[in-house]
Structure 1
Amino acid sequence: MARTTDAPPSPLKVAGASFIGTTIEWYDYYIFGTAAVLIFNTQFFPNLDPLAGTLAAFATFAVAFIARPFGGAFFGHFGDRIGRKKMLVWSVLCMGLGTLVVGFLPTYAQIGIWAPLLLVICRFLQGFAVGGEWGGAVLMSLEHAPANKRAFYASFPQAGVPAGTVLSAGTFALLTLMPDEDFNAWGWRIPFLASVILVAIGLYIRLKVTESPEFLAVKESNQTPKVPVWDVLKFHKWALIVGMMCGFAPNIVFYIATVFMVKYGPTDLGIDSNVIFVAMMIAASIQVVSMPYIATFADKTSKRRLLLIGCVIVALGAFPVFWLFNIGTFWSILAALLIALPIMHAVSYGAISGFTAELFPARVRYTGTSLAYQLGGIITSAPVPIIATLLLAETGTFAAVAGYMIVAAALGFVFIFFAPKGHKAIATNDTARVDEFAQ
């Protein structure tokens, strides 16, 4: 097959496109989590007591994490066989559909039990889309990047996580200014319906991005696997396990800060939810910048070392974050979230994309990276709001939740410390790449 003579796009352009697309996907994903805290318990589970309704809403939120590995396997299979770009286009369409339908769903009062069932189906579709989104966006950035800046460029899709949080928190910060009756009746639907505009933007950007040069090299050498997931399970089991568990520290921090505390503040401390949203917007905005900056240190030293430092920072910061948050003033809440997001989460999460991707060779990298991240999410992300809520209810103190964060950070440290050497692609004298083992 003849190689194209067109000049490849700059790594920054590809990473920027991945960032914008991922921001839109995570906005769609997180508005559901925020709505689960604020509205879904009363609109879709009104017959349950407040605690049970909250847990049911969080369970609906967690359904996406069950769907994500299926999406990772599906999109990863075709991403390793026919290309990264095509799958990213389909992932944004899938996410847009699931989000838009939520905006039109009747409530429990209108159609009874069908309302929460349809809500679960929509959430499953969102999770299925994210399952293919993260791995593909990371690989497009990583595989277009020069060898000495792979962690930096791979962190751009990671920065889409706080950027999506900013959009989600900002949207609900505005909507909570509405009269409660209007917000409960129809206002909560606005973020879901408005997502169709963002999805259109994301689709346009995805169609403009060129295919990964490393995938093209694999395809031209006839090394595309027939069943990528089988290759991963057969030859890369330990890499898969490490990829699943390395997210313990950052995922616990993120979902404690952005989901659990949104409920904990108003319900247990009497804090206005709008105060939390504004503080979260500021902290997440700073994290959009801090995460790529911190990732540059992984390129200078190693991704493993930075992630280990991140686990230690999460363990040390668990109690201070709650102490500050519990003071209850705007500035103390902002300080707590500044520690949690642009510091604790950024350091422990910024290099995970490059670290996880390089655990697998290019021929099965989409499948391996996606499965590792999404299967890990079932353990390290999905239960976080539920476990934190139960720990607080059972013990009556935030100390149990902070202890949960410390244990998670310790587990993540162990798995990262004993991680296998990864496959790192080194640029040759043309656009092809070859796999070598990296420290």
Structure 2
Amino acid sequence: MKDIKIPSKFIRVVVILSTIGLIIEAYDFFSIGIISTAIWPYVFFKNASSSAIAFSILAYATILIGRPAGGVIFGHFGDKIGRKFSMFWSLFLSGIAMLLVALMPPIGVLAVLFIAILRFMQGMGLGGDGGSSLVLSYEYAEKGERPGYLMSFPMAAAILGIILGVLGVLISENLESKLFLLTYGWRILIGIGAIAIMVSAYLRMKVVESLDFKRLLNNNEVDPSPIKNAFKRCGKNIVLITLAIAYFPVILNFLLYPYSIELFTKMGFAEKQVMFTFLIASVLAYGFSILGGYLADKYGWKKIVLISAVGSLITLPILFTHLLMSLFPLYILASMGWGAMGTYASEFIISLRNTSAGAVFGFIGLFPAVLLIAVLPALITVYGVVGSLMPISIIGELITVVSIISILILIKARKVEGSSA
């Protein structure tokens, strides 16, 4: 159905509506990352003991474990009932869970356990929304003239959400100091995200279902068991694409944030100076992620991701200069590849596309989840924040090498497939 032309104005509306959930996810990840360590220990435990911080981080990080489950489960419904159905209910689940976190009474460890469950539910919703949103957006964007460029906006939403998260924290700290965050401020920050998600879910109801899925319905070609068949028929591509993309969330959510912010603060830089530098770097990274999508239309998404991954591998050691500006080249080059990844859904057949793409979107979150929950605390305990730079950089480099190998396999497979055709 690629020959069907849809007005570009309509495609842009679909892409914008599909982007909102991804913005909120990144906003949530950044702002609540700070709240969980700086605020929750005092709200729920009255002090910032090691156990209080550990429980708070655990509650915060369960969202990353929920993402892959949500990506697969809601992807299954997206392939069986429709992309629009999956997008609405995944966002609705996330919004409800987020709102309940904002309203959580200060009942000690019990509150943190409830938050962990709600964050898992929120992760399921956001994982499902991410995969379904990207698939619906792609199935409209491919009928336009610049699918890579259009799809770079949902991908860049992750960076835009981080920008909003940084601004939210900086504004809150400047308004009424930490006392405001300790009382109502943190609830307001989360509540804003919950309301935005609920409004987005309502607007999603007005989105027209994907024409590709409608064709499947009309021709009675809907797969009877998307989860089973996606891993059976598309399992190799799911694994390879997940590994090819994995370097970016590891660099962004493990090495750059939260670690590098804490690293430069420990090196003697003022916290606000570090935050503002990260804010400027994020703005530049947003622009380069859009550039990545533009270049993907010209050269293909895999080639741009390969350039991005190799560039990340080369620039990561610049962090050892201990200069704040060293954040820029790594962040910018990694983000260019992220923006180009928006059309990865094209690698999957239409009848299993939502489940397969949702699985990829969910699984890439497992890499920073494991590193943040288990590896980062252990490294900091043994080596300290500054001393952990070497092992953390080695982990980042190794995962980036795996991504480079995976993308090369994908490129070679496509060439072999093309030559045999």
SS of the counterpart of 2:146? helix
Deviation at 1:117, TM superposition (A): 0.4
- Aligned pair 1:162/2:151, yes or no? no
How large is the Cα RMSD of the aligned pairs? 2.9
CA separation in 1, counterparts of 2:420 and 2:99?
A: 43
Q: How does 1:114-193 map to 2 (within 5 A)?
A: 114-146=110-142, 149-177=146-174, 178-193=176-191
Q: How does 1:148-297 map to 2 (within 5 A)?
A: 149-177=146-174, 178-255=176-253, 256-266=255-265, 268-297=266-295
User: Aligned residue for 1:415?
Assistant: 406
Change (3 A) 1:250 1:7: closer
Change (3 A) 1:89 1:26: farther
SS of the counterpart of 1:382? helix
Match 2:300 to one of 299, 302, 321: 302
Contact 1:11 1:144 in 2 (8 A): yes
Match 1:312 to one of 306, 310, 313: 310
CA separation in 2, counterparts of 1:321 and 1:100?
A: 38
SS of the counterpart of 1:208? coil
Unmatched runs of 5 consecutive residues or more in structure 1: 424-435
Q: How does 1:6-21 map to 2 (within 5 A)?
A: 10-21=10-21
Deviation at 1:21, TM superposition (A): 4.0
Contact 1:150 1:299 in 2 (8 A): yes
CA separation in 1, counterparts of 2:420 and 2:109?
A: 53
Q: How does 1:20-99 map to 2 (within 5 A)?
A: 20-44=20-44, 49-50=49-50, 53-99=52-98
Change (3 A) 1:72 1:20: closer
Contact 1:315 1:406 in 2 (8 A): yes
Q: Deviations over 1:108-132 (max 9, x none)?
A: xxx2320210110121111011111
Match 2:328 to one of 335, 338, 350: 338
By percentage of residues, which structure has more helix? 2
Q: Deviations over 1:8-48 (max 9, x none)?
A: 86322322222234323432344322322432344446677
SS of the counterpart of 1:224? coil
Larger mean Cα displacement after TM superposition, 77-86 or 7-16: 7-16
Change (3 A) 1:410 1:76: same
CA separation in 2, counterparts of 1:155 and 1:169?
A: 21
CA separation in 2, counterparts of 1:244 and 1:351?
A: 14
Change (3 A) 1:55 1:273: farther
Contact 1:12 1:153 in 2 (8 A): yes
Change (3 A) 1:314 1:12: same
Deviation at 1:318, TM superposition (A): 1.4
CA separation in 1, counterparts of 2:5 and 2:378?
A: 59
Unmatched runs of 5 consecutive residues or more in structure 2: none
Larger mean Cα displacement after TM superposition, 88-97 or 394-403: 394-403
CA separation in 2, counterparts of 1:394 and 1:96?
A: 38
CA separation in 2, counterparts of 1:139 and 1:37?
A: 35
For 1:406, give the aligned amino acid: E
Change (3 A) 1:340 1:385: farther
Q: Deviations over 1:167-198 (max 9, x none)?
A: 11111111122333332233222201222432
CA separation in 2, counterparts of 1:12 and 1:165?
A: 22
CA separation in 2, counterparts of 1:48 and 1:316?
A: 38
CA separation in 2, counterparts of 1:5 and 1:391?
A: 53
Change (3 A) 1:274 1:99: farther
SS of the counterpart of 1:179? helix
CA separation in 2, counterparts of 1:8 and 1:350?
A: 20
CA separation in 2, counterparts of 1:317 and 1:40?
A: 35
Q: Deviations over 1:356-388 (max 9, x none)?
A: x1221011101001112212321x221233423
User: Aligned residue for 1:426?
Assistant: none
The normalised TM-score by structure 2 is 0.87
SS of the counterpart of 2:410? coil
CA separation in 2, counterparts of 1:401 and 1:375?
A: 21
For 1:366, give the aligned amino acid: N
Change (3 A) 1:30 1:86: farther
Change (3 A) 1:196 1:249: closer
Contact 1:318 1:403 in 2 (8 A): no
Match 1:401 to one of 384, 392, 396: 392
Match 1:360 to one of 326, 343, 348: 348
Change (3 A) 1:194 1:7: closer
Match 2:365 to one of 358, 367, 377: 377
Deviation at 1:260, TM superposition (A): 2.3
For 1:338, give the aligned amino acid: F
Deviation at 1:100, TM superposition (A): 1.4
Contact 1:170 1:277 in 2 (8 A): no
Contact 1:22 1:134 in 2 (8 A): yes
Deviation at 1:417, TM superposition (A): 1.5
For 2:351, give the aligned amino acid: R
How many residue pairs match? The answer is 408
For 2:339, give the aligned amino acid: G
CA separation in 2, counterparts of 1:438 and 1:204?
A: 47
The normalised TM-score by structure 1 is 0.84
User: Aligned residue for 1:433?
Assistant: none
Contact 1:18 1:138 in 2 (8 A): yes
Deviation at 1:49, TM superposition (A): 4.2
Change (3 A) 1:58 1:340: farther
For 2:258, give the aligned amino acid: V
